[in-house]
Amino acid sequence: MSIISAGTADASRGGTLSLGRHRNATVGGTPTVVQSGDLLGAICFAGGDGTDMRTKGASIACQVDGTPGADDMPGRLVFSTTADGASSPTERMRISQNGNISAGTTSSTGGRLIFGGYTNGDRYGILMQPSADTATPMAFHNAAGTLVGYIGTDASSTTYATTSDYRLKENVVAVTNGITRLQQLKPSRFNFIAAPGHTVDGFIAHEAQAVVPECVTGTKDAVDADGKPVYQGIDQSKLVPLLTAALQEAIGEIESLKARVAALETP
């Protein structure tokens, strides 16, 4: 084992392994400027295949990622792995010179997943940009591998879908007492403690849980092993079936009253 060490009081300096290149092919010649896309260095991982040591299991490479200049060397890290049956590594992920992390693509457009970077002048926490307008940038599967939801996009909108196919359901009955249950909900106006100046409409989780249990996650007043709160969450979209049933009941009653009034007004 080799140890690379350096004696210095500078906290920013330490033992360094440096890989580099330039474009002057003459031994001992003046280092000439590299170009965008040039490989500066790589760490390759090899494995014995029964005959030879093959340097094609995976690699981490550094490439020039832009136009270099004096004291200006933009670079990207490229992570590659070799698929079963393939003869060489394929790029799987890169960290670009601007800090973007891209997966599933070798270009800056299409099929990318970027965490916390600047793109098109805007700041994104997570940016998912598929290679086609109609696509499924994110899908969710249960432990058995069954699709249970997805985020879909087209040229102008986004769909947040949960699986609802009739073939996955049984014991299907109509929602009853919609108006009675709806009246038990307690819509409120409030602000979150962290945003005192921002008042919103919504529900208190445990109150909604008493009426529509599936719309809330967590347990009221739950804490973790250290006594810190484990907060409840709510998916307000799961209130829509109850709202629809109550509205249908109300419309039915209105239509019935209209018919009775019409009968009374008929000479």
Report which of 163, 243, 168, 253 is spatially closest to residue 203, judged by C-alpha positions. Answer: 243
Alpha helices (H) along the chain: 178-182, 205-209, 240-265
pLDDT 10s digits, 30-56: 889 999 999 999 999 989 888 888 768
Q: What are the residue ranges spanned by the domains of the chain? A: 39-131, 132-168, 178-265
Q: Phi and psi (nearest 5°) for 136?
A: -120, 90
CA angle, residues 97, 102, 103, in degrees to nearest 5: 150
List, in sequence order, every beta strand (DSSP E) within 108-156. Answer: 112-119, 122-129, 135-141, 147-153
pLDDT at res. 101:
76
Which segment of 60-64, 117-121, 123-127, 263-267 scores lowest on mean pLDDT? Answer: 117-121
Cα–Cα distance measured from residue 22 to residue 32, given in angstroms and rounded to the nearest whole number: 5
pLDDT at res. 34:
93
CB atoms within 10 A of CB 76: 20
pLDDT 10s digits, 218-241: 999 999 999 999 999 999 999 999
CB atoms within 10 A of CB 39: 13
Three-state secondary-structure class, residue 167: helix
The pTM assigned to this predicted structure is: 0.66
> Mean pLDDT, to the nearest integer, of 98-121?
61
pLDDT at res. 52:
82
The pairing of strands 135-141 and 147-153 is antiparallel
pLDDT 10s digits, 196-226: 999 999 999 999 999 999 999 999 999 999 9
**More confident: 27 or 64:** 64
Question: Whole-number mean pLDDT of the chain?
Answer: 88
pLDDT at res. 106:
63
pLDDT 10s digits, 111-150: 455 555 555 566 666 777 776 788 888 899 999 989 999 9
Confidence label for 1 from pLDDT (cuts 50, 70 and 90): very low
- Locate tokens 């009853």: which residue? 176
In a 10 Å sphere around its CB, with 0-12 CB exposed, 13-18 middle and 19+ buried, how is residue 227 labelled? exposed
pLDDT at res. 194:
96
Sign for the pseudo-dihedral over CA of 107, 86, 141, 218:
negative
pLDDT at res. 111:
46
